[in-house]
């Protein structure tokens, strides 16, 4: 069902989302409950390499992988592939703060939503950078409130919000 066919009374809310069974694989995007199939191996391989690189540079408890709920507002609960925080999260944290960097690894079924609706929601919520990684080419797009920078897979991409974060897309897809 497209957003234009959903009436305000049919929109899901955070309260509806929280009543779902633990581990139910979905997101709440602009009031629409979105369930995707599990990611393919190539997608997961990029995430594993990405989290390994981030743990080396930012240290433990600052980079986490999905599934992790980011409660943006009453109609948006997103699960980025990877979220990077300014400081280490406490082991018993109950409310995840807004990350400084959100990373989405693009898949054919999710690329349009990741690039459009989700990136816009993340930036409105105060995320400093949204990184979109193409697992075919290794290219990385960095979206900020000021615009988009696209980098080829062989170029080092440096974060402007967390100085330690510098990655080459080609290293993530090798």
Mean pLDDT of the chain: 89
pLDDT band of 4, cuts 50, 70, 90? low
Greater model confidence, 95 or 6: 95
Which residues have a Cβ under 8 Å from the Cβ of 48 and sit 6 or more positions away? none
Instruction: Establish if 21 belongs to a structural domain.
Output: no
The answer as to whether 32 is a domain residue is no
Distance between CA atoms of 153 and 49, rounded to whole angstroms?
14
Residue 28 lies in a domain: no
Per the model's pLDDT, the better-predicted residue between 55 and 90 turns out to be: 55
Q: How many domains does the chain have?
A: 1
Please check the confidence at residue 110 and state whether its pLDDT lies above 80.
yes
Q: What is the pTM of this model?
A: 0.87
Domain contains 55: yes
- Across the range 52-76, mean pLDDT stands at 91
Q: Residue 52 in 3-state DSSP?
A: helix
Flag whether 22 is in a domain: no
97 lies in a domain? yes
Find the domain containing 149 and state its range.
38-173
DSSP state of 4: G
116: left (phi over 0), alpha (psi -120 to 50) or beta: alpha
> Does 129 have pLDDT greater than 90?
yes
| Unique residue bearing structure tokens 């990373």 | 103
> Is the model's pLDDT at 3 over the cut of 70?
no
| pLDDT band of 90, cuts 50, 70, 90 | confident
Average pLDDT rounded to a whole number, residues 140-159: 94
For residue 129, the cross-strand partners are: 101
Q: How large is the average pLDDT for residues 70-93?
A: 90
Residue 26 inside a domain? The answer is no
Q: Is the pLDDT of residue 33 over 60?
A: yes
Residue 45's Cα: distance from chain center in Å?
Answer: 16
Instruction: Specify the CATH number for the domain of residue 85.
Output: 3.90.1570.10
d(CA 113, CA 158): 24
At residue 26, the pLDDT reads 84
pLDDT on residue 1? 45
* Maximum average pLDDT range among 3-7, 29-33, 93-97, 145-149: 145-149
Confidence at 8, pLDDT banded by 50, 70, 90? low
On whether residue 25 sits in a domain, the answer given is no
């Amino acid at each position: 069902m497209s957003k234009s066919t959903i009436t305000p009374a049919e929109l899901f809310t955070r309260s509806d989302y929280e009543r779902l069974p633990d581990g139910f694989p979905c997101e709440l995007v602009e009031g629409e409950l979105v369930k995707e199939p599990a990611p393919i191996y190539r997608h997961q391989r990029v995430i594993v390499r990405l989290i390994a690189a981030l743990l080396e540079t930012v240290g433990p408890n600052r980079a986490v992988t999905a599934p992790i709920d980011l409660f943006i507002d009453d109609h948006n609960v997103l699960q980025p592939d990877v979220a990077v925080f300014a400081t280490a999260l406490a082991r018993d944290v109950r409310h995840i703060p807004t990350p400084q960097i959100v990373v989405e690894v693009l898949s054919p079924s999710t690329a349009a939503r990741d690039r459009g609706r989700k990136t816009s929601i993340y930036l409105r919520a105060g995320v400093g950078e949204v990184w979109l990684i193409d697992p075919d080419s290794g290219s990385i797009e960095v979206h900020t409130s000021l615009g988009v920078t696209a980098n080829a897979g062989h170029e080092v991409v440096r974060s402007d919000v967390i100085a330690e974060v510098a990655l080459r897309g080609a290293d993530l897809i090798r």
